[in-house]
Chain A
């Protein structure tokens, strides 16, 4: 009974979506506690990114509900869901490539530092103090990811690993309750992956963040995730604490190979 009363930050109940005849995600449920680092794994085409797209309103679920911190966000649009408190990164990096690194983060701060269009055009009143506050806050976030030295670079000039970090920084700038990371280690070498693990842990502690991540890299998953859900053909294969899940024979068979 104790668990029934426990409040979850994210409570996904039985969501499904079908594309034509294909059930891409079928009765998916997950409960994530505050401050938890949760992993979503599964073979290619299992529906992991589709789950992310459902959580962030890119797709609307055919059935089921998504509750974020007590607020029902099922069926809302991407923009509203971000305002409700979910931020994400993408499997294939999506930065604002022609903006500076600093401006990328400042776009993330957009909803939290406001002034009117007239003030923006005339550069008057709240413009200067707000911009200064934004710069300061953005530099603070960049420093966490050791990107402060690159603030004036164009985002597309950054090397690959740093672009991934910048994407996380931008997502954090929107001050979310839940951070979704879609394959953060994709394309990174082993050393970069280790660095990234430290960064993710640090982000959780420093920003008191709850993180749900999709990952292929087993080392990363077993190294940092508290709990795991394994997805296969759109369905949950196994759910629970990381060690148990990784030792489950079915998981080993489906995902890690015989």
Chain B
């Protein structure tokens, strides 16, 4: 089977999983088999999936560890909430949501670009630390913003409501740490699933394009990528901005699922960014389907474990460790391969065997080369 048709098949499985998830949930909703707790989790599941896949674009495909993803979500949430409580009022749900999504994505993309300029000059740990700082800055600045609107237009302050100097009858939109109130709450599960599909479509297609190859080439070997004429900073920026825009869309979904929107450390802080990164790492770096599954399981788990009260985070931690081992330990990965071959490939062994044997031979040869290369590098040093 050719490489391209393999990727195609794999992508179709990913889309299929989301479709199956949607159909099952809808069926449960329609037949009344879903608890109200689960119903409340449907939209969060969607925005976490979007966040996980979009962060995986930066971490897995572009190879940069970004710890400020919740910041872009925050920008999308607040810009779209401001729209919803001003110009968006009285519009139908569908046009309001579409425009809100465009606004949220656009603002997050602009901030992604501006933050990307300094951040993408850094590498590795330094990049991680600076993105973390920017994420916190965004959250804290938004926490201090007062925004009002009256007949003269917008009023802005970082102090308090009084210093907005508004006319009588003016409306205060953002009240500092109290955030934005009276939001429409019109996000639906279907909209969430559409966004998950859109995110997957953008990211999976990008990976299989000329630009995506350039992004991955810059990840694999910077020096070689430059030597074949790729402008590294341009493609790193492309990935970063697209990822920020998608996180902004997740933020729109988030803000349209609430009556009151506040920027707290719980929803847009450092912990949230780390949580998204946990989805990416446990789902497999660069593996979009894995990100979806990890986001699904790890969002559901703490809720399902509520009956254990204080012990639930303990179980959660154990599950994290178990997932990490199953996904990354070389021995377990090898064992999984053996098991998969035993149970899934028996039926068509005759066709697949030569290919598998060749791959195995190549793999052992590759392992040898890696060792040789490592040795060489040691000598060079």
Contact = CB atoms under 8 A, between A and B. Distances in A.
A122 interface: yes
B369 A160 contact: yes
Contact of B366 (A78, A93, A156): A156
B227 A159 contact: no
B221 A97 contact: yes
A55 to B, nearest CB: 11
A252 interface: no
Contacts of A119: 209
A253 interface: no
A110 B362 contact: no
A107 B228 contact: yes
A74 interface: no
Contact of B228 (A82, A102, A115): A82
B238 A121 contact: no
Contacts of A154: 366
B228 to A, nearest CB: 5
Q: How big is the A interface, by class? A: 35 or more
B359 A92 contact: no
A123 B211 CA distance: 12
A130 B223 contact: no
A201 interface: no
Contacts of A131: 210
B303 interface: no
B204 to A, nearest CB: 10
B205 interface: yes
B3 interface: yes
A120 interface: yes
A79 B231 contact: yes
A111 B206 contact: no
Contact of A117 (B211, B213, B223, B231): B211
Interface stretch (B20-28, B290-298, B373-381): B373-381
Contacts of B219: 98
A158 B221 CA distance: 17
B372 A106 contact: no
Contacts of B202: 121
A102 B214 CA distance: 13
B216 interface: yes
Contacts of B210: 106, 110, 113-115, 120, 130-131, 134
A163 B220 CA distance: 15
Given A93-B373, A94-B221, A160-B369, A107 B214 contact: yes
B357 to A, nearest CB: 13
Contacts of A79: 226, 229-231
Contacts of A92: 373, 376-377, 380
B225 interface: yes
A95 interface: yes
B351 to A, nearest CB: 16
B217 interface: yes
Contact of A159 (B217, B226, B369): B369
A102 B3 contact: yes
Interface in A120-162: 120-123, 127, 130-131, 134, 150-154, 156-160
B319 interface: no
A158 B213 contact: no
B313 interface: no
A174 B3 contact: no
Contacts of B221: 94-97
A151 B3 contact: yes
B305 interface: no
Interface stretch (A12-20, A83-91, A215-223): A83-91
A151 B2 CA distance: 9
B60 to A, nearest CB: 10
A120 to B, nearest CB: 3
A174 B229 contact: yes
Contacts of A113: 210
In this complex, the member of B206, B210, B231, B377 whose beta carbon has the largest number of chain A beta carbons within 10 angstroms is: B210
A171 interface: yes
B205 A158 contact: no
Contacts of B366: 154, 156-159
B7 to A, nearest CB: 10
Contacts of A173: 228
Contact of A121 (B2, B206, B363): B206
Nearest to B365: A159
Interface in A182-231: 187
A232 interface: no
B64 to A, nearest CB: 15
A99 interface: yes
A94 B362 CA distance: 18
21 contacts: A82-B229, A90-B223, A92-B376, A93-B373, A94-B227, A103-B216, A106-B213, A108-B228, A110-B230, A111-B229, A114-B210, A115-B210, A120-B209, A120-B210, A121-B206, A134-B210, A158-B362, A158-B366, A158-B369, A159-B365, A170-B224
Interface of B: 2-3, 6, 202, 205-206, 208-214, 216-217, 219-221, 223-231, 238, 359, 362-363, 365-366, 369-370, 372-373, 376-377, 380
